[in-house]
């Protein structure tokens, strides 16, 4: 487990600490239920935000538990959370593993309990395996917010980066435009258990029904590890010599694939790559013509919004009830949306941005 603490606006300190020696029996369990409560993050089922109000408490400690501590996207999101808590007179502790598994995140949840944190903000590497540990945290009075990648555990608020359906469908549409809606395509994803990628892939498959001449021939998983992403990419290209397009709904996957294609122009001439990428990582590959267009939201804003949501819940400023609103600093006011499908109460940051050569250099994330 790797932990870093951010206080005020000072630089983050990253250090290796010993894993908290607590029972990990719950690790890998999938015995969770879905939320039956109308209130997102409280124990009671408040029907409105009437009970909420007041000021954000100062001195709050919020544990940010990203998918892993190495992924630049997650690091930017965590920095956004640190900015939020610094504005509110509290602090963020970033803690997670180095691999995108639920097992690697459980020691960080236990550490948050030990530290009497006020809230946890977590990007789930698995929809249900984290629920027993998160339930223990809630029993200890810790508010739970998920961001980036949701969990299915009860009584939490999900901070979604953009509308899930829009992300999935628009990635297929972006690729279709570039390959004349024709040919074999594949997906280079993150971890096979990642809630966010799997939800987007579900909508990609729906959208592909509108493109009968585009055929999804494979989905491979690089676990948001650059080395593994490269290996599965190479396997994909070998297994499917007629591949026309790849969608990589992960910043790690798309940047790895773009780097490979930029060095193998013969393959890049035949295979079109799109997906979700950081403009800072993708700029070179757009400007050298390897990639035409891809999309993303601002991960820093995502972390900032999650930080404000966690602090608001921990202070009782909002009770997380659908329909209620709260103010997220520079991002202004957000409304909590009702549960829908397998997603509990949530907040959506905003629509994604499409990046191409006209704008890719303009973003600092």
Q: Does 145 bind ligand RAM (CB under 6 A)?
A: no
Nearest distance in Å: CB 252, ligand RAM: 5
Pick from 60, 252, 268, 310 the residue near ligand RAM by CB under 6 A: 252
The residues in 313-332 that bind ligand RAM, with binding defined as CB under 6 A, are none
Minimum CB separation of residue 321 from ligand RAM in Å reads 27
Question: Which alpha helices (DSSP H) does 94-163 contain, by range?
Answer: 102-114, 131-139
Residues contacting 217, CB < 8 A, separation 6+: 184, 185, 186, 240, 243
Determine the Cα angle at 69 with ends 41 and 143, to 5°.
10
Burial (CB count within 10 angstroms: exposed 0-12, middle 13-18, buried 19+), residue 216: middle
Residue 64 β-bridge partners: 94, 121
> Which listed residue (35, 101, 149, 259) binds ligand RAM by CB under 6 A?
149
* Binding segment toward ligand RAM, per CB under 6 A, in 169-177, 233-241, 247-255, 309-317: 247-255
Which residue's Cβ lies closest to ligand RAM? 73
Q: Is 223 in the site for ligand RAM (CB under 6 A)?
A: no
Our CB check for ligand RAM shows the closer of 126 and 148 to be 148
Q: According to the binding rule CB under 6 A, does residue 250 interact with ligand RAM?
A: yes
The answer to whether 105 contacts ligand RAM (rule: CB under 6 A) is: no
CB 85 → ligand RAM: shortest distance, Å?
21
Least CB distance to ligand RAM at residue 336 (A): 21
224 touches ligand RAM (CB under 6 A): yes
- C-beta atoms surrounding 270 within 10 Å: 14
**What angle, rounded to 10 degrees, do the helices at 195-208 and 164-178 form?**
50
Q: Is residue 37 close enough to count as binding ligand RAM by CB under 6 A?
A: no
* Minimal distance, residue 168 CB to ligand RAM, in Å: 12
CB atoms within 10 A of CB 181: 15
Q: Are 60 and 119 in contact (CB under 8 A)?
A: yes
Burial of 55 (0-12, 13-18, 19+ CB in 10 A): exposed
Site membership for ligand RAM, residue 251 (CB under 6 A): yes
Number of residues that bind ligand RAM (CB under 6 A): 13
3-state class (DSSP) for residue 16: strand
Q: Which of 113, 122, 190, 232 binds ligand RAM (CB under 6 A)?
A: 190
- Which member of 32, 70, 71, 164 binds ligand RAM (CB under 6 A)? 71
Residue 8: CB minimum distance to ligand RAM, A: 27
8 Å CB contact between 68 and 290:
no
Q: Which of 26, 67, 147, 258 binds ligand RAM (CB under 6 A)?
A: 67
Part in contact with ligand RAM (CB under 6 A); list of ranges 3-11, 45-53, 248-256, 350-358: 248-256
Phi, psi of 98 (to 5 degrees): -110, -5
148 touching ligand RAM, by CB under 6 A: yes
Q: Does 73 bind ligand RAM (CB under 6 A)?
A: yes
* Secondary element (H or E) of residue 188: strand 183-189
Are the beta carbons of 175 and 185 closer than 8 angstroms? yes
Backbone angles phi, psi at 302, to 5 degrees: -60, -45
CB of 183 to ligand RAM, least distance (A): 24
Told to check if 276 binds ligand RAM by CB under 6 A, we report yes
CB 257 within 8 A of CB 273: yes
Residues that bind ligand RAM (CB under 6 A): 67, 71, 73, 123, 148-149, 190, 196, 224, 250-252, 276
């Amino acid at each position: 487990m790797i932990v870093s603490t951010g206080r005020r606006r000072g630089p983050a300190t990253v250090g290796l600490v010993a894993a908290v020696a607590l029972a990990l029996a719950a690790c890998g369990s999938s015995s969770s239920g879905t939320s039956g409560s109308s209130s997102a993050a409280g124990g009671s089922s408040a029907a409105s935000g009437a009970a909420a109000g007041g000021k954000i408490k100062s001195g709050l400690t919020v544990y940010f538990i990203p998918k892993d501590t190495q992924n630049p996207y997650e690091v930017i999101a965590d920095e956004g959370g640190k900015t939020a808590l610094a504005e509110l007179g509290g602090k963020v502790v970033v803690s997670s593993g180095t691999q995108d598994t639920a097992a690697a995140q459980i020691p960080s949840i236990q550490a948050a309990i030990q530290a009497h944190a006020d809230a946890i903000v977590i990007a789930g590497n698995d929809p249900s395996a984290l629920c027993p540990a998160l339930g223990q945290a809630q029993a200890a009075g810790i508010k739970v917010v998920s961001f980036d990648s949701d969990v299915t555990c009860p009584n939490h608020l999900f901070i979604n980066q953009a509308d899930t359906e829009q992300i999935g469908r628009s990635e297929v549409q972006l690729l279709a435009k570039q390959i004349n809606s024709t040919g074999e395509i594949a997906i280079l994803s993150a971890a096979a258990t990642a809630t966010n990628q799997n939800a987007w892939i579900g909508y990609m498959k729906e959208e592909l029904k509108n493109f009968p001449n585009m055929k999804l021939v494979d989905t491979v998983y690089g676990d948001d590890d650059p080395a593994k992403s490269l290996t599965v990419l190479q396997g994909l290209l070998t297994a499917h010599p007629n591949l026309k397009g790849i969608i990589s709904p992960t910043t790690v996957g798309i940047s790895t694939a773009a780097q490979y294609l930029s060095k193998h122009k013969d393959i890049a001439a035949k295979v079109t790559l799109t997906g979700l990428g950081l403009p800072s990582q993708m700029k070179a590959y757009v400007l050298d013509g390897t990639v035409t267009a891809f999309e993303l939201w601002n991960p820093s804003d995502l972390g900032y919004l999650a930080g404000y949501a966690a602090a608001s819940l921990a202070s009782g400023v909002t009770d997380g009830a659908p329909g209620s609103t709260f103010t997220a600093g520079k991002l202004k006011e957000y409304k909590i949306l009702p549960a829908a499908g397998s997603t509990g109460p949530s907040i959506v940051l905003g629509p994604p941005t499409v990046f191409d050569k006209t704008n890719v250099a303009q973003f600092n994330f």
